[in-house]
Amino acid sequence: MFDSNDLLEKTPRRRFERILLARCRAGQPFALMLVNLEGFKDVSKRFGANVTDLLLFEVGSRLREKLNPRDLVTRSGDHQFAVFVQGVDEMERANQIAQELIERLQSPVTVTGTRFRLDASIGISLAPKQSGEWRLLLDDTDRAAHEAQTEGRGRISISFAAPKLTSDD
């Protein structure tokens, strides 16, 4: 059901890594966000794959509509999306964008006659503020996403990547 931006297959995952690498090498500022849908496993168990697929498609659409066409939204896990927002180099702006994304996701959606209200948490890292190394940036964003998820629904955690330790591959 998902488009070519679904990262659960090998080819899209490699594409995601290539995009992240290229954006880090370019040295232009961007925010990398990992958006985790809260309680989504329960939805999947209760309503099945068809409803889950429709909800995930709606989430991707809602995330994309809040961003510029040059930004990228791609599914990165069972209930997680990666978001690249170009031109963001300040924590305040990244936080504002993340809050707008959470608010948009919380608007109710009806699928097959059932109304859902989705909650999300978002982890963010900014590049190349302290690092242009894509693996460190991804690890840092993942840690921020975990922190936000631990704090509860609708939370945002922003981190800055650790200093560059290795060269880009």
Domain contains 69: yes
pLDDT at 87: 93
Q: Is 151 inside a domain boundary? A: yes
Q: Is residue 36 part of a domain?
A: yes
- Its domain, for residue 33, covers 10-160
pLDDT band at 48 (very low <50, low <70, confident <90, very high): confident
First to last CA, the chain: 32
Per residue in 58-68, pLDDT tens?
899 999 998 99
The tokens for 159 are 């981190």
Confirm if 155 and 148 have CB atoms less than 8 A apart: yes
C-alpha to C-alpha distance for 147 and 131, rounded to whole angstroms: 20
Instruction: Confirm whether 80 is domain-assigned.
Output: yes
Q: Given CA atoms 68, 88, 143, 122 in this order, what sign does their dihedral have?
A: negative
Specify if 114 maps to a domain.
Answer: yes
**What does the mean pLDDT of the chain come to?**
81
Q: Residue 50 domain-assigned? A: yes
Percentage, residues of the chain above pLDDT 70: 83
Report how far residue 123's alpha carbon sits from residue 117's, in angstroms, rounded to the nearest whole number. 20
Residues 6+ apart with CB under 8 A from 11: none
Span 94-106, pLDDT tens digits: 999 999 999 999 8
pLDDT over 90 (residue 83): yes
Give the integer Cα–Cα distance in Å for 136 and 59. Answer: 27
CATH number at residue 138: 3.30.70.270
Residues 6+ apart with CB under 8 A from 168: 21, 24, 25, 132, 133, 134
CA dist 56 → 3, 53, 140 (Å): 11, 5, 25
Q: What is the mean pLDDT of residues 101-114?
A: 89
Confidence of residue 10 (pLDDT cuts 50, 70, 90): low
Domains of the chain: total:
1
Whether 2 is covered by a domain: the verdict is no
Region 93-119: mean pLDDT is 90
pLDDT tier for residue 4 given thresholds of 50, 70 and 90: very low
Q: Which helix (H) or strand (E) is 22 found in, with range?
A: helix 10-26
Is the pLDDT at 137 greater than 70? The verdict is yes
Sorting pLDDT into bands at 50, 70 and 90, what band is 8?
very low
In a domain, 118, yes or no: yes
